């Protein structure tokens, strides 16, 4: 057994047997143990240049109860509950029964003692030296998940303080072999933040470009924590009901890797669309940060999105450390699911339209560049469990879609998504913050019925954006078939790192 065993909580929730729309075209055979009741229609988001968004919905009141039985079963073993100590009561006390122990006061939920705030910089490892990386076609093939704790020089991490530069190594690998390079901050980024809009003005290499993002403020007095929402996200609207400002970012405002503002500024770039859209989200953060925390609290920022915009949310949050909380929703291939595991666990050899999406689909859709090494995933020296690790030690909430026991939403590779998140959690565990990553998957219509995620979203928002002490770190699903142990793809162990994070 290589992977540290994790105890994951399970909560019951009603199944909703509703037909699901597809994230995009499939690339292979159905999952062997199930057959859908009917061909699922696509949701029309295959084109990476589209500026459309998932269907809008009316969010429930934030007080609507989420799933969960409140039993506390599955408490994370890395944060064991301690028995509270009670001082002896002096004297018998009136009404105190002879020999009866004193009453114990209720204890608050156990969470990791420190929740790191979002750093004030986009990349804390900018001064770390990373050697030149080899060409992808020269790398050895392996079906296993790469070891996130072994540095490029072959030595393993022993101190938490080494994570900054190890993170930089992983970041450079992600750029070269998966996303393509996300450019650094342009020569000049200026703009304004108002109660209704953020304006971003960019000057770079003698060119001037501008775009805007909408702002929706909650009632009350600011500054407010905020979520950058790729499109009209139902999860962002849940957050709005919790006192979080919503910054709506239409990724089409910056174009794609080869079109629009990004294409004009970086004509010879190596990026795919996800890197381009993450770059746009970072420029919004530049303006928010420079505006000072008068309307929006620049130290309490989240990012979310669903479907292809969920892939963008993960990329934005992983590549920019100023996001305090990252919430990818039903991201599918190009998002959370491992490129190495999908072809093994959820193969699609016939290219069935309703079958699991394969790694090449992320390239064909333009989300990743044409030369991305995900086309030969066994050669990848880095995978999405390490992209999850790029978020550490900040907050991460992965929201998935099972489609229910009878109508699997197979396109989203939900079993691989689960296994990848469990593997990625080992990075958080090594850094001493195992409860900073949570997972919740539900039987929902694609990008809809987000009220079923209310409990999970409330907990993460309270802890990472509102300064509360809600317990996070649970792995919850309404279908047990989603749980897949990643141990068979892991030949490394999780170290016990010493010291403190920088």
User: Helices 163-174 and 384-391 sit at what angle, rounded to 10 degrees?
Assistant: 130
The residue-averaged pLDDT of 211-216 equals 98
Q: d(Cα 360, Cα 202) in Å, to the nearest integer?
A: 33
Q: How confident is the model at residue 117 (pLDDT cuts 50, 70, 90)?
A: low
Strands 207-216 and 197-204: antiparallel
> Residue 394 in contact with residue 435, Cβ under 8 Å?
no
In CATH, the number for domain 136-489 is: 3.40.50.1820
pLDDT in tens, 419-429: 999 999 999 99
Lowest-confidence pick of 77-81, 167-171, 307-311: 77-81
pLDDT in tens, 277-293: 999 999 999 999 999 99
3-state secondary structure of 29: coil
Provide the pLDDT for residue 114.
52
- For the whole model, what pTM was predicted? 0.80
Q: In this model, does residue 407 exceed pLDDT 70?
A: no
> Residue 373 in contact with residue 136, Cβ under 8 Å?
yes
The residue-averaged pLDDT of 257-266 equals 97
Residue 495, Cβ density class (10 Å: 0-12 exposed, 13-18 middle, ≥19 buried): middle
Provide the pLDDT for residue 235.
98
Q: d(Cα 481, Cα 311) in Å, to the nearest integer?
A: 23
Provide the pLDDT for residue 104.
56
CA–CA–CA angle 329, 330, 333 (5° rounding): 120
Domain locations in the chain as residue ranges: 136-489
Neighbours of 95 (CB within 10 A): 5
Q: CA separation (Å) from 371 to 137, 173, 226, 350, 361?
A: 11, 14, 35, 24, 13
Displacement of CA 98 from its chain's centroid (Å): 55
Provide the pLDDT for residue 77.
33
Share of the chain above pLDDT 70, in %: 75
- Which token pair is 302? 């989240």
Q: d(Cα 435, Cα 81) in Å, to the nearest integer?
A: 13
Lowest-confidence pick of 97-111, 182-196, 310-324: 97-111
User: Helices 273-291 and 308-319 sit at what angle, rounded to 10 degrees?
Assistant: 60
Q: d(Cα 416, Cα 440) in Å, to the nearest integer?
A: 14
> Residue 274 in contact with residue 179, Cβ under 8 Å?
yes
First to last CA, the chain: 31
The residue-averaged pLDDT of 144-167 equals 98
The residue-averaged pLDDT of 201-223 equals 97
Provide the pLDDT for residue 103.
52
Displacement of CA 422 from its chain's centroid (Å): 13
Beta-carbon contacts of residue 78 (< 8 Å; ≥ 6 apart): 429, 434, 435
Q: What does the mean pLDDT of the chain come to?
A: 82
> Residue 309 in contact with residue 232, Cβ under 8 Å?
no
Provide the pLDDT for residue 118.
62
pLDDT in tens, 68-100: 333 333 333 333 333 333 333 333 333 334 444
Q: In this model, does residue 11 exceed pLDDT 70?
A: no
Q: In this model, does residue 44 exceed pLDDT 70?
A: no
């Amino acid at each position: 057994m290589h992977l540290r065993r994790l105890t994951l909580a399970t909560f019951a929730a009603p199944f909703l047997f509703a037909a699901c729309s597809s994230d995009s075209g499939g690339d292979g055979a159905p999952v062997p143990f199930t057959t859908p009741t009917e061909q699922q229609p696509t949701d029309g988001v295959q084109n990476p240049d589209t500026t459309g968004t998932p269907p809008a919905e009316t969010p429930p009141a934030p007080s609507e109860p989420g799933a969960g039985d409140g039993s506390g079963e599955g408490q994370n073993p890395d944060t064991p509950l301690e028995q509270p100590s009670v001082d002896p009561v002096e004297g018998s006390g009136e009404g105190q029964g002879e020999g009866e122990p004193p009453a114990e006061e209720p204890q608050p939920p156990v969470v990791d003692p420190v929740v790191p705030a979002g750093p004030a910089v986009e990349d804390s490892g900018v001064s770390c030296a990373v050697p030149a990386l080899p060409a992808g076609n020269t790398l050895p093939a392996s079906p296993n998940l790469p070891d996130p704790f072994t540095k490029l020089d072959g030595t393993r991490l022993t101190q938490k303080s080494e994570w900054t530069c190890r993170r930089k190594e992983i970041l450079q690998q992600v750029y070269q072999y998966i996303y393509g390079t996300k450019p650094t901050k342009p020569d000049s980024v200026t703009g304004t933040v108002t109660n209704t809009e953020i304006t971003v003005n960019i000057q770079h290499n003698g060119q001037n470009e501008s775009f805007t993002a909408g702002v929706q403020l909650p009632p009350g007095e600011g500054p407010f924590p905020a979520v950058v929402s790729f499109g009209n996200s139902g999860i962002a609207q849940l957050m709005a009901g919790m006192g979080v400002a919503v910054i709506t970012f239409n990724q089409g405002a910056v174009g794609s890797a080869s079109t629009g503002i990004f294409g004009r500024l970086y004509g010879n770039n190596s990026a795919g669309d996800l890197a381009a859209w993450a770059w746009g989200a970072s420029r919004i953060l530049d303006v928010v940060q420079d505006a000072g925390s008068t309307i929006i609290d620049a130290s309490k920022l989240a990012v979310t999105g669903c479907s292809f915009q969920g892939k963008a949310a993960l990329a934005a949050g992983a590549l920019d450390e100023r996001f305090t909380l990252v919430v990818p929703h039903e991201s599918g291939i190009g998002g959370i699911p491992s490129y190495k595991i999908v072809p093994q666990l959820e193969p699609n050899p016939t290219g069935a339209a309703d079958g699991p999406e394969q790694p090449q689909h992320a390239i064909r859709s333009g989300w990743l560049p044409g030369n991305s090494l995900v086309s030969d995933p066994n050669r990848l020296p880095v995978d999405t469990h390490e992209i999850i690790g790029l978020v550490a030690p900040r907050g991460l909430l992965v929201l998935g879609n099972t489609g229910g026991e009878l109508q699997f939403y197979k396109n989203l590779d939900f079993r691989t998504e689960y296994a990848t998140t469990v593997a990625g959690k080992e990075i958080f565990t090594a850094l001493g913050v195992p409860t900073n990553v949570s997972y919740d998957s539900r039987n929902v219509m694609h990008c809809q019925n987000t009220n079923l995620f209310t409990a999970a979203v409330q907990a993460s928002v309270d802890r990472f954006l509102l300064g509360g002490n809600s317990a996070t770190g649970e792995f919850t699903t309404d279908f047990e078939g989603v749980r897949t142990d990643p141990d068979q793809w892991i030949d490394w162990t999780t170290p016990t790192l010493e010291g403190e994070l920088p």
